[in-house]
């Protein structure tokens, strides 16, 4: 029968092994994974390409103006992008633009000037009135400080300016992209004028003594 002295070291060895295993499990790193929709999960597995946000050139070109925004604001701007449609000599358009800039809303601006712009705006909204604000798929026709602020709040935009210093919205662009007018072709060189034969003499000549005319 084995003695107690022989069992005790084996018992201590087993306990020590369990402590080492437990310590190894506690030391295992926990990874923070963020999927392409911004959802955060925690796991003991390292993030993969499927869970990391897209960083390829296509994703970079999709929202270039939002690259320098704070994380929460960037998520809102990607989910509910804001676009202002404005025109020349439109006082409400200027007031609307000032509201967006003062509140720190990242937005794009489309100008309506040409006949093609007006036709495109009518197809988009059913009428040609300005200003127009779109927040995601929501259209707000005509400027109203209270209404626009209400919809911006509902979309999740901050009520105070949180844009980083030096941030600039992209420059305004026409609603319909202007196509380059091809240069007029150079005029062709004039064709040489054929020389006409000298008219035959009308009077008598050595070859036509009678002066006959046909």
CB 211 within 8 A of CB 203: yes
Whether residue 161 is predicted with pLDDT greater than 80 in this model: the reply is: yes
> Is the preceding peptide bond at 9 cis, omega within 30 degrees of 0?
no
Cα 161 to Cα 169: distance, rounded to the nearest angstrom: 14
CB 53 within 8 A of CB 34: yes
pTM summary value: 0.56
Cα 128 to Cα 119: distance, rounded to the nearest angstrom: 8
Q: Average pLDDT of 35-40?
A: 57
Cα 120 to Cα 153: distance, rounded to the nearest angstrom: 29
- C-alpha distances (whole Å) from 5 to each of 8, 92, 96, 151, 208 are 6, 94, 88, 79, 158
DSSP letter assigned to residue 65: G
Mean pLDDT of the chain: 75
Cα dihedral 200, 204, 210, 213 sign: positive
Whether residue 54 is predicted with pLDDT greater than 50 in this model: the reply is: no
Q: What pLDDT sits at residue 177?
A: 87
Give residue 35's pLDDT band: very low, low, confident or very high (50, 70, 90): low
State the pairing for strand pair 107-111/173-174: parallel
- C-alpha distances (whole Å) from 166 to each of 60, 69, 201 are 20, 11, 91
* Residue pLDDT, tens place only, 74-131: 999 999 999 999 999 999 999 999 999 999 999 999 999 999 999 999 999 898 899 9
Percent of the chain scoring above 70 in pLDDT: 57
155 vs 203, higher pLDDT: 155
Q: Which two tokens stand for residue 178?
A: 């202007």
Q: What pLDDT sits at residue 3?
A: 46
Whether residue 179 is predicted with pLDDT greater than 90 in this model: the reply is: no
Q: What pLDDT sits at residue 127?
A: 86
Q: What pLDDT sits at residue 188?
A: 72
Q: Average pLDDT of 171-187?
A: 78
Least confident interval from 1-5, 23-27, 60-64, 181-185: 60-64
42 vs 101, higher pLDDT: 101
Whether residue 67 is predicted with pLDDT greater than 80 in this model: the reply is: no
């Amino acid at each position: 029968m084995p003695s107690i002295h022989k069992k005790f070291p084996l018992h201590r060895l087993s306990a020590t092994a369990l402590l080492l295993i437990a310590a190894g499990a506690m030391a295992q790193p926990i990874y923070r994974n963020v999927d392409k929709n911004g959802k955060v999960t925690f796991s003991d597995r390292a993030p993969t390409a499927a869970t990391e946000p897209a960083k390829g050139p296509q994703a970079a070109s999709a929202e270039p103006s939002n690259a320098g925004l704070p994380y929460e604001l960037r998520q809102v701007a990607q989910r509910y992008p804001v676009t202002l449609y404005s025109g020349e000599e439109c006082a409400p358009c200027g007031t609307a633009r000032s509201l967006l800039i003062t509140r720190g809303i990242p937005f794009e601006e489309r100008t309506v000037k040409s006949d093609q712009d007006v036709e495109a705006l009518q197809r988009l909204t059913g009428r040609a009135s300005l200003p127009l604000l779109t927040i995601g798929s929501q259209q707000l026709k005509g400027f109203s400080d209270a209404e626009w602020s209400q919809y911006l709040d509902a979309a999740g935009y901050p009520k105070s300016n949180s844009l980083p210093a030096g941030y600039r919205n992209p420059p305004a662009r026409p609603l319909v992209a202007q196509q380059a007018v091809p240069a007029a072709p150079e005029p062709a060189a004039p064709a040489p004028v054929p020389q006409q034969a000298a008219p035959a003499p009308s009077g008598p000549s050595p070859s036509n003594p009678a002066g006959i005319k046909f």
